[in-house]
């Protein structure tokens, strides 16, 4: 009898301790943002590559400087998982690329210039309760890369050089590369490039594609044009008429979280982000292994924004 | 919501049953990963568990290894080995082997250890020495428990081999990862069902093997009920 | 470095300055991990108890309950979490639902095993002494079933601590976030820290539960297990 009471007490005490521990330190880690209307805390999210981490930290830093309460949920996964989280309120703000979001929301989109893309994007976002803020001049496009050795061996400098040789090459990229119009079907349609020897589903310019390309498990890899890895490993980006539409960096946020203050702060940042600056920052994280948060704040300081 | 219909359609689509991305190919890859990992784990774990059971030394480790092994963050190990070894099978193999070793060690230990003292003394009375006792008495009696350990490991490995797709390899996990990436829910559900089925089949198949390795003498004496009880408790 | 490869490897495995700079993050991840584990166990126990009681009271239910939970268990955790995303998004509910299901499966089994393992004689003696069914349950059967139930709680706890890291793939993860941070940043330090801490957490939790079990069942201490 006494034992059961003791057991009950033990359980109660343990639970109390547990809840106390969580209440103390866990709140930041647990805060998912939720649908916080009235602009209390803005939760900045990001997908899973280093440029995203840098951009998200930038947004967080300038917002905090302006007195907005900010929470970050970074490195959440690929866009398929993270964008829906934006729509349903688990996060409030996401650094995005206008062309990619457009084709994410409308598979058949054909717009190419920044203006066209942004106009087509606005109603689609509005329907989901989202709004795009000002775009930056910086663009991060999807590209195709080969190692220097492969480029020399097959004489590859432009995408059109792949014609006639694709059958001997293994290509790797995100799983949807196989089906997206700007992916492998695009190569076929625009350049007449035949089927590759093999397609390996890896990731979008991430660690898998990087490792596979360097080890020779794939010959052609899908990368991002601003990635630091390109310079780090001396890859060759195959140039030519881009298959992709414009890919300006643009913050996309939930309408009820994007107060006038938030908009003003982020729009003030937008014009300063150029492709060159972004590529430089990516290099610091990818090659020098600096911390994304530090890289972002140092740069903002140099620009007089924090 | 016609999710059920979509899933059934995905599972029965002939396109999904042929080619390098088809269900047979992926299942074979999955089975291969699981087989190699479990095999290597058994090769490492069996001698260790049996030795501990036979000599009685290191018992504390053996008994607790399974429980602690449950906490092995397989995802962490895959990613760490990936950082060190790069793209390929090694990261997957190392983490699956690490996952599979503990249950085999623990069960082999318990199996050999719990051979009745009477039986062991009888064998020694008959003139058998250490090694002979081990091979001719302890191991045959311990076989069901040893098999139970291998079975537990195998099922865990089959379920966890889905992580191979996370580092770009094949196997049934590809349907989960690709389905997520292509926003193809029927593919994810289909993949989940296939892995669950494969786990079940593995469990049942090895269960049969386990029942078959109960040495004839024990089975005839009806002692298999006691062994079964021990087996169930350890599984 | 003129030393052999081993010291270079060790130097690359952990950059201690990173650890120092990120202590707050690490602490936050650790709390998230403990909280997810604790909540999943809590819900698991609360849900498993009535199910187990039902299975014991109406033995015909046990087969189906066991089969159903057994099938759920074969669904790989990665799949279960991915499947929940369209419904519950990246909220903590997704992680908790998945984690609770797995603890549930382990706990129901052990609770039923434990309750069933109580000797019929003991139960009959209690009845003869005039104990009501509820009194019998709480004052006789449960205490006697405690060792087996606690064994189940231990297994569930350690398993959950491992599973929490998988939730990193759906926006949570506790210490598992260190794994994907290391993956994205191409950096082994966070990964090593994550593995060491989650193993340490499991070890500590297991020890704690063993101590709790000893406290709750002092009569079992003298008997050889």
pLDDT reading at B81 higher than 90: yes
pLDDT reading at A100 higher than 70: yes
Order of strands, sheet of A41-45, starting from the edge strand that comes earlier in the sequence: A69-73, A41-45, A93-97, A249-254, A130-132
Q: State which H helix or E strand residue C199 sits in.
A: helix C188-216
What pLDDT does B218 receive? Answer: 61
pLDDT reading at B235 higher than 50: no
Range(s) within chain A of domains with CATH label 3.40.190.120: 142-237
Alpha-carbon dihedral sign for residues A126, A131, A137, A141: negative
Among the listed ranges A16-25, A179-188, C7-16, which one has the minimum average pLDDT value? A16-25
Which of A242 and C58 is assigned the larger pLDDT? C58
Contact C26, C181 (CB under 8 A): no
β-pair partners for A220: A171
Question: Cα–Cα distances in Å, from B177 out to A191, A201, B190, C169?
Answer: 30, 9, 12, 11
Contact C158, C152 (CB under 8 A): no
Could you tell me the residue ranges of all domains in chain C? 33-174
* Measured distance CA(C209)–CA(A293) in Å, rounded: 39
- ipTM for the whole predicted complex goes beyond 0.90: no
Among the listed ranges A36-45, B33-42, B72-81, C41-50, which one has the minimum average pLDDT value? A36-45
Query: pLDDT over 90 for what percent of chain C?
Result: 34
Contact A91, A71 (CB under 8 A): no
- Tokens at residue B54, please? 């036979």
* Measured distance CA(B206)–CA(A112) in Å, rounded: 58
Residues of chain A with C-beta less than 8 angstroms from the C-beta of C142: 4
Cα distance from A68 to chain C (closest Cα, Å)? Answer: 21
Confidence class for position C225, pLDDT limits 50, 70, 90? very low
Of C51, C63, C58, C31, the C-alpha closest to C100 is C51
Contact B74, C194 (CB under 8 A): no
Minimum CA–CA partner of A210 in chain B: B87
The model's pLDDT over B97-156, given as tens digits with 9 standing for 90+, comes to 999 999 999 889 888 887 877 787 888 888 877 777 778 788 888 888 899 899 989 998
Cα distance from B210 to chain A (closest Cα, Å)? Answer: 38
pTM score, two decimals? 0.84
* Measured distance CA(A53)–CA(B126) in Å, rounded: 72
Q: What rounded mean pLDDT belongs to chain A?
A: 85
* Measured distance CA(A244)–CA(A103) in Å, rounded: 10
What pLDDT does A115 receive? Answer: 94
Kindly tell me the burial class for residue B159, based on how many C-beta atoms sit within 10 Å of its own C-beta (0-12, 13-18, 19 or more): buried
Residues of chain B with C-beta less than 8 angstroms from the C-beta of C154: 67
Contact at CB, B87 and A78, closer than 8 angstroms: no
Q: Does C203 touch chain B (CB under 8 A)?
A: yes
Residues of chain A with C-beta less than 8 angstroms from the C-beta of B167: 208
The DSSP annotation for chain A comes to -HHHHHHHHHHHHHHHHHHHHIIIIIHHHH------TTSSEEEEE--SSHHHHHHHHHHHHHHHHTT-EEEEE-----HHHHHHHHHTTS-SEEEEEHHHHHHHH-TT----SHHHHHHHHHHHHHTTTEEE-PPPS-B--EEEEE-HHHHHHHT-SBGGGGTTTGGG-EEEE-GGGGTSTTSHHHHHHHH-----SEEEE--SSSHHHHHHHHHTS-SEEEEETT-HHHHHHT-EEPBSS-SS---BEEEEEETTT--HHHHHHHHHHHTT--HHHHHHHHHHHHTS---HHHHHHHHHHHTT--
What pLDDT does C74 receive? Answer: 73
Question: Cα–Cα distances in Å, from C187 out to A54, A202, B85, B142, C145?
Answer: 16, 19, 13, 45, 47
**At C78, is the secondary structure helix, strand, or coil?**
helix
Contact B53, B45 (CB under 8 A): no
Q: What rounded mean pLDDT belongs to chain B?
A: 85
Q: What is the mean pLDDT of residues A82-97?
A: 93
Cα distance from C58 to chain A (closest Cα, Å)? Answer: 25
- Within 185-244 of A, beta carbons closer than 8 Å to B belong to 198, 200-203, 207-208, 211-212, 214-215, 217
* Residue A140: Cβ within 10 Å count: 24
Q: What is the mean pLDDT of residues C42-48?
A: 93
The model's pLDDT over A136-185, given as tens digits with 9 standing for 90+, comes to 999 998 889 999 999 999 999 988 899 889 999 999 998 888 877 778 88
Q: What rounded mean pLDDT belongs to chain C?
A: 84
* Measured distance CA(B61)–CA(A68) in Å, rounded: 53
Confidence class for position C61, pLDDT limits 50, 70, 90? confident
Chains in contact with C, counting 3 or more C-beta pairs less than 8 Å apart as contact: A, B
Minimum CA–CA partner of C197 in chain B: B73
pLDDT reading at A32 higher than 80: no
pLDDT reading at B234 higher than 70: no
- Pinpoint the alpha helices (H) of C22-175: 23-57, 59-74, 77-88, 92-116, 120-128, 133-136, 142-166
* Measured distance CA(A209)–CA(A169) in Å, rounded: 15
Indicate the CATH number for domain A142-237: 3.40.190.120
Q: What is the mean pLDDT of residues A30-37?
A: 40
Q: How far apart are the first and last CA of chain C?
A: 54
Order of strands, sheet of A142-146, starting from the edge strand that comes earlier in the sequence: A198-201, A170-173, A220-224, A142-146, A236-237
| CATH of region A41-139+246-302, choose from 3.40.630.30, 3.10.400.10, 3.40.50.300, 3.40.190.10 | 3.40.190.10
Structural domain C33-174, CATH architecture: Orthogonal Bundle (1.10)
Contact at CB, B166 and C187, closer than 8 angstroms: no
What does the longest C-alpha to C-alpha distance in chain B come to?
Answer: 72
Indicate the CATH number for domain B3-234: 1.10.3720.10
Could you tell me the residue ranges of all domains in chain B? 3-234
Three-state SS across B36-83? Answer: HHHHHHHHHHHHHHHHHHHHCCCHHHHHHHHHHHCCCCHHHHHHHHHH
What pLDDT does C82 receive? Answer: 82
- Pinpoint the alpha helices (H) of C58-91: 59-74, 77-88
């Amino acid at each position: 009898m006494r034992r059961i009471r003791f057991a009950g007490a033990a359980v109660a005490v343990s639970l109390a301790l547990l809840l106390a521990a969580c209440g103390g330190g866990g709140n930041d880690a647990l805060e998912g943002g939720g649908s916080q209307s009235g602009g209390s805390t803005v939760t900045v999210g990001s997908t899973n590559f280093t440029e995203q981490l840098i951009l998200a930290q930038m947004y967080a830093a300038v917002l905090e400087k302006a007195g907005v309460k900010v929470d970050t949920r970074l490195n959440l996964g690929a866009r398929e998982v993270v964008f829906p989280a934006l729509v349903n309120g688990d996060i409030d703000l996401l650094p995005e690329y206008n062309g990619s979001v457009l084709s994410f929301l409308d598979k058949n989109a054909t717009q190419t210039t920044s203006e066209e893309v942004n106009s087509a994007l606005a109603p689609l976002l509005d329907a989901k309760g989202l709004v795009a803020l000002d775009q930056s001049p910086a663009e991060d496009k999807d590209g195709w890369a080969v190692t220097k050795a492969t480029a020399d061996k097959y004489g590859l400098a432009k995408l059109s050089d792949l014609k006639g040789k694709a059958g001997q090459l293994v290509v790797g990229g995100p799983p949807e590369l196989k089906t997206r119009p700007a992916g492998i079907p695009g190569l076929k349609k625009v350049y007449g490039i035949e089927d590759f020897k093999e397609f390996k589903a890896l990731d979008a310019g991430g660690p898998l594609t990087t490792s596979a390309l360097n080890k020779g498990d794939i010959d052609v890899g899908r990368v991002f044009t601003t990635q630091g890895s390109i310079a780090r490993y001396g890859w060759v980006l195959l140039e030519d008429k881009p298959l992709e539409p414009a890919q300006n960096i643009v913050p996309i946020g939930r309408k009820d979280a994007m107060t006038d203050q938030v908009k003003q702060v982020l729009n003030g940042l937008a014009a300063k982000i150029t492709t060159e600056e972004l590529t430089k920052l990516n290099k610091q994280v990818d090659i020098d292994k600096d911390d994304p948060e530090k890289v972002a704040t140092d740069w903002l300081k140099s620009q007089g924004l924090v | 919501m016609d999710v059920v219909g979509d899933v059934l359609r995905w599972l029965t689509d002939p396109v999904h049953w042929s080619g390098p991305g088809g269900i047979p190919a992926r299942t074979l890859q999955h089975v291969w990963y699981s087989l190699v990992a479990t095999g290597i784990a058994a090769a490492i774990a069996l001698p260790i568990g049996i030795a501990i059971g036979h000599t009685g030394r290191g018992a504390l480790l053996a008994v607790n290894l399974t429980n602690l092994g449950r906490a092995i963050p397989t995802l962490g190990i895959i990613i760490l080995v990936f950082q060190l070894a790069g793209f390929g099978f090694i990261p997957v193999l190392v983490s699956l082997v690490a996952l599979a070793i503990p249950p085999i060690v623990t069960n082999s230990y318990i199996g050999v250890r719990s051979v009745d003292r009477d039986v062991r003394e009888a064998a020694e009375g008959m003139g058998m020495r250490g090694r002979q006792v081990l091979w001719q008495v302890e191991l045959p009696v311990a076989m069901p428990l040893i098999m139970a350990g291998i079975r537990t490991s195998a099922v865990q490995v089959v379920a966890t081999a889905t992580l191979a797709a996370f580092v770009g390899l094949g196997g049934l996990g590809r349907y989960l990862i690709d389905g997520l990436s292509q926003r193809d829910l029927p593919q994810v559900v289909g993949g989940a069902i296939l892995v669950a089925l494969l786990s079940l089949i593995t469990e049942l198949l090895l269960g049969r093997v386990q029942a078959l390795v109960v040495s004839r003498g024990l089975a005839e004496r009806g002692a298999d009920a006691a062994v079964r009880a021990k087996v169930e408790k350890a599984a | 470095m003129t030393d052999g490869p081993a010291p270079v490897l060790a130097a690359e495995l952990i950059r201690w300055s990173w650890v120092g700079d990120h202590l707050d993050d690490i602490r936050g991840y650790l709390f998230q991990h403990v909280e997810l584990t604790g909540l999943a166990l809590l819900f698991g126990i609360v849900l498993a108890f009535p199910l187990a009681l039902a299975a014991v009271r109406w033995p015909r239910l046990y087969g189906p309950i066991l089969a159903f939970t057994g099938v759920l268990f074969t669904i790989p955790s990665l799949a279960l979490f991915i499947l929940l995303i369209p419904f519950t998004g990246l909220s903590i509910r997704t992680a908790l639902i998945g984690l609770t299901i797995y603890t549930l499966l382990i706990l129901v089994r052990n609770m039923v095993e434990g309750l069933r393992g109580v000797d019929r004689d003991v139960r009959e003696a209690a009845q003869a002494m005039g104990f009501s069914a509820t009194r019998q349950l709480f004052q006789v059967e449960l205490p006697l079933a405690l060792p087996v139930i606690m064994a189940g709680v231990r297994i569930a706890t350690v398993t959950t601590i491992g599973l929490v890291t998988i939730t990193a793939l759906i926006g949570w993860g506790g210490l598992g976030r260190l794994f994907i941070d290391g993956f994205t940043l191409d950096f082994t330090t966070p990964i090593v820290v994550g593995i060491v801490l989650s193993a340490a957490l499991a070890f500590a939790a297991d020890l704690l539960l063993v101590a709790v079990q000893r406290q709750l069942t002092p009569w079992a201490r003298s008997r050889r297990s």
